């Protein structure tokens, strides 16, 4: 029982962490609170669904398609909505309000186009039969989730820490003007980060859609609530903190649902947020030592 | 001989407030030129106008035969014009080595490593602290880092903004010894300084800025001899 709960927690926590990584990246580099970020969960999942149903693509191709579509939508949205705010050096609250409007608009558009009912990926996409491994009952999608998240997180860390472009992204996050003086095209980096973060959000959306076998226009909303809790607990802009806090929140949610009551699951994120702010107001790894994106 | 950097009638403003009101300035290849003046006279604004961080309202900036007026800063950097900004502006969350590599963002790997080794040789203090977080360095070390970071770019001209600001006298001496060394290596430098005496000692040519206009210019030794300068800017 406990082993199964821990395994489920790992699956859920991985998705939370993946989602939060993109969210914290957006905040850290673009210096905006982007509520549109939650929309890319549904955008990616629907794009992948369309790719499966209308284009007849397989799991991986459809996933890649969904991720790219959401990324491109994000580049356009950020350019139209956020770049003017950033240029005017508007306070963070304005980005919050503007993207709140943006996400309401986009969610409604999704509902008009796709309808509000819950849709499903066809069963043929994955072998749906769970297998028993020792004490664990494991669905194939759970293994896909863990493997995908593990590979993407490793790639993201390698990219941010070891590559020229990743270092440039961190430089832009800290001092955009100075980065420009070193020859970094700040506008291009900003667009790249918009794409990258939305791609992470969309990947999380596709994995959630597959895991719970449900895709609907508002599937990003509950993720945003968790996302806020995770990036605040992890430290705003801190990618390592988002990873740890995301996994921890998944663990807490599964344990609460399993041993206390599943009704309390939603309350976990906020209890953790309050405790986190109380005990470590600068984030898990503090402000000075954290690797901020 | 035409100048490496040539500025004609440059006008810069923050919103409606004019900060630089039409100045002419030239820096020849291999020259050290200083731009001195009191606080708020427009020195830093002038550098920001040259490097592209502030779009000029009027006038022309020509660098190495290219008109760079209003060009984006990253494109100007690509031409070999590098600014060491006021207040060092190091990347505090990165290590010393990462900061230096960022300076060589446009330089290919092998060459960048070679220049990195050169800079670490020039600044042993930075070599000792290579893997340290840059935000933990002292002010003087941060200034060294900012200068080293600029040198890795292999610039054709370096714009140095207030390198002595906020440093102890011993540290200032060390920083100026490095500028002296760069001068002997034939590097082209445009130096902005509040400490006029230090700047005039090291420069070939000097411009004195007063509330956005060039008040006086000429060979540094002559400008230093001008009693008005001594009185107004050196507190003599």
Tokens found for residue A160: 């941010």
> What is the rounded CA–CA span in Å between residue A143 and residue A11?
8
In the predicted model, is pLDDT for residue A288 greater than 80? no
What is the overall mean pLDDT for chain A?
Answer: 89
**Mean pLDDT calculated for residue range B215-231:** 81
CA–CA distances in Å: residue A7 to residues A17, A48, A201, A222, A263: 15, 26, 22, 22, 21
CB B126 within 8 A of CB B98: no
The ranges assigned to domains in chain A are: 11-218
| pLDDT single digits (tens) A197-241 | 999 999 999 999 999 889 999 999 999 989 999 998 888 888 899
Closest C-alpha among A277, A273, A279 to residue A253: A273
Which of B76, B87, B91, B99 to probe by mutation at the A interface, max A CB count within 10 Å?
Answer: B91
Which candidate from B85, B93, B153 shows the least CB-CB separation from A178? Answer: B85
CB contact residues (below 8 A), chain B span 70-99, against chain A: 72-74, 77-78, 82-83, 85, 89, 91-94, 98
Q: Give the distance from residue B230's alpha carbon to the nearest chain A alpha carbon, in angstroms.
A: 34
DSSP state of A238: B
Q: Give the confidence band of B227 by pLDDT, cuts at 50, 70, 90.
A: low
CA–CA distances in Å: residue A190 to residues A30, A224, B200: 7, 21, 42
Task: Provide the 10 A C-beta neighbour count for residue B173.
Answer: 12
What is the model's pLDDT at position A279? 83
**Mean pLDDT calculated for residue range A158-185:** 95
Pairing relationship of beta strands B32-37 and B189-193 according to DSSP bridges: parallel
Q: Residue B22: helix, strand or coil by DSSP?
A: strand
**Mean pLDDT calculated for residue range A238-249:** 92
> What is the rounded CA–CA span in Å between residue B86 and residue B139?
12
What is the model's pLDDT at position B19? 93
Which of A182, A239, A286, A290 to probe by mutation at the B interface, max B CB count within 10 Å?
Answer: A182
Q: Give the distance from residue A291's alpha carbon to the nearest chain B alpha carbon, in angstroms.
A: 7
Angle, CA A219 vertex, CA A213 and CA A225 arms, to 5°: 130
Residue linked to tokens 């398609």: A65
Q: Give the confidence band of A128 by pLDDT, cuts at 50, 70, 90.
A: low
**Residues of chain B contacting A185 with CB distance shorter than 8 Å:** 72, 74
Q: Return the residue of B nearest to A165 by Cα.
A: B105
Q: How far apart are the first and last CA of chain B?
A: 36
| pLDDT single digits (tens) B136-175 | 999 999 999 999 999 999 999 999 999 999 999 999 999 9
Pairing relationship of beta strands B58-63 and B5-14 according to DSSP bridges: antiparallel
CA–CA distances in Å: residue A12 to residues A69, A104, A256, A286, B224: 24, 26, 13, 25, 71
Q: Give the distance from residue B105's alpha carbon to the nearest chain A alpha carbon, in angstroms.
A: 6
Q: Return the residue of A nearest to B52 by Cα.
A: A181
Which candidate from A168, A177, A290 shows the least CB-CB separation from B105? Answer: A168
Whole-model pTM above 0.95? no
Torsion of CA B38, B40, B42, B47, to 10 degrees: 90
Tokens found for residue A25: 């990246």
Identify the helix (H) or strand (E) that includes residue A138: strand A136-138
**Mean pLDDT calculated for residue range B28-46:** 93
Task: Provide the 10 A C-beta neighbour count for residue B82.
Answer: 25
Q: Return the residue of B nearest to A166 by Cα.
A: B102
Q: Do A182 and B83 touch (CB under 8 A)?
A: no
Q: Give the distance from residue A293's alpha carbon to the nearest chain B alpha carbon, in angstroms.
A: 10
Q: In A119-264, where does DSSP find H-type helix? A: 140-162, 164-174, 176-181, 186-211, 220-234, 239-259
Residue linked to tokens 């505090």: B92
Angle, CA A219 vertex, CA A74 and CA A146 arms, to 5°: 85
**Residues of chain A contacting B82 with CB distance shorter than 8 Å:** 181-182
The pair phi, psi for residue A291, each rounded to 5°, is -80, 100
What is the model's pLDDT at position A287? 52
Q: Do A181 and B78 touch (CB under 8 A)?
A: no
Q: Do A291 and B92 touch (CB under 8 A)?
A: no
Domain made up of B5-234: CATH architecture: 3-Layer(aba) Sandwich (3.40)
| pLDDT single digits (tens) B4-32 | 999 999 999 998 899 999 999 999 999 99
**Residues of chain A contacting B135 with CB distance shorter than 8 Å:** 288
Decide: residue B8, CB within 10 A, 0-12 exposed, 13-18 middle, 19+ buried.
middle
Q: Do A291 and B103 touch (CB under 8 A)?
A: no
Which candidate from A164, A181, A186 shows the least CB-CB separation from B51? Answer: A181
SS3 content of chain B, % helix, strand, coil (to 5): 40, 25, 35
């Amino acid at each position: 029982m406990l082993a199964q709960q821990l395994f489920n927690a790992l699956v859920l926590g991985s998705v939370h962490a993946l989602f939060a990584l993109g969210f914290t990246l957006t905040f850290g580099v673009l210096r905006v609170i982007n509520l549109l970020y939650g929309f890319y969960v549904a955008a990616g999942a629907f794009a992948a669904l369309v790719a499966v149903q209308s284009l007849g693509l397989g799991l991986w191709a459809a996933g890649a398609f969904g991720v790219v579509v959401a990324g491109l939508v994000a580049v356009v949205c950020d350019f139209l909505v956020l770049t003017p705010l950033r240029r005017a050096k508007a306070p963070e609250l304005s980005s919050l309000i503007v993207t709140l409007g943006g996400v309401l608009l986009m969610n409604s558009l999704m509902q008009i186009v796709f309808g509000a009912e819950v849709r499903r990926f066809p069963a043929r996409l994955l072998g749906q039969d769970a297998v028993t491994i020792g004490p664990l009952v494991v669905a194939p999608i759970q293994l896909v989730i863990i493997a995908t998240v593990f590979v993407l997180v490793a790639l993201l860390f390698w990219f941010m820490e070891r590559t020229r472009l990743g270092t440039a992204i961190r430089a832009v996050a800290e001092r955009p003007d100075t980065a420009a003086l070193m020859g970094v095209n700040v506008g291009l980096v900003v667009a790249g980060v918009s794409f990258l973060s939305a791609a992470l959000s969309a990947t999380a959306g596709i994995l959630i859609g597959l895991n719970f076998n449900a895709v609907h226009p508002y599937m990003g909303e509950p993720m945003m609530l968790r996302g806020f809790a995770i990036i605040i607990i992890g430290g705003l802009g801190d990618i390592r903190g988002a990873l740890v806090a995301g996994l921890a929140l998944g663990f807490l949610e599964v344990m609460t649902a399993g041993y206390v009551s599943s009704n309390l699951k939603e309350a976990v994120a906020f209890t953790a947020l309050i405790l986190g702010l109380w005990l470590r107001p600068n984030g898990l790894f503090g402000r000075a030592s954290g690797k901020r994106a | 001989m035409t100048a490496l950097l040539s500025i004609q009638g440059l006008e810069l403003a923050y919103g409606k407030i004019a900060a630089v009101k039409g100045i002419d300035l030239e820096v020849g290849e291999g020259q050290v030129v200083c731009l001195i003046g009191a606080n708020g006279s427009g020195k830093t604004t002038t550098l920001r106008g040259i490097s592209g961080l502030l779009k000029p309202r009027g006038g022309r900036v020509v660098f190495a035969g290219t008109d760079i007026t209003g060009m984006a800063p990253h494109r100007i950097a690509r031409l070999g014009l590098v600014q060491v900004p006021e207040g060092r502006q190091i990347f505090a969350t990165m290590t010393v080595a990462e900061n230096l590599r960022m300076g060589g963002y446009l330089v290919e790997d092998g060459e960048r490593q070679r220049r990195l080794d050169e800079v670490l040789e020039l600044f042993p203090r930075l070599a000792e602290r290579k893997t340290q977080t840059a935000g933990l360095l002292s002010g003087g070390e941060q200034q060294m880092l900012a200068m080293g970071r600029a040198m890795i770019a292999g610039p054709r001209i370096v714009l140095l903004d207030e390198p002595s600001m906020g440093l102890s006298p011993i540290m200032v001496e060390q920083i100026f010894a490095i500028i002296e060394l760069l001068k002997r290596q034939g590097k082209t430098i445009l130096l902005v300084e509040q400490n006029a005496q230090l700047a005039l000692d090291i420069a070939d040519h000097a411009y004195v800025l007063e509330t956005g206009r060039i008040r006086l210019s000429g060979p540094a030794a002559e400008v230093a001899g001008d009693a008005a300068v001594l009185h107004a800017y050196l507190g003599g």
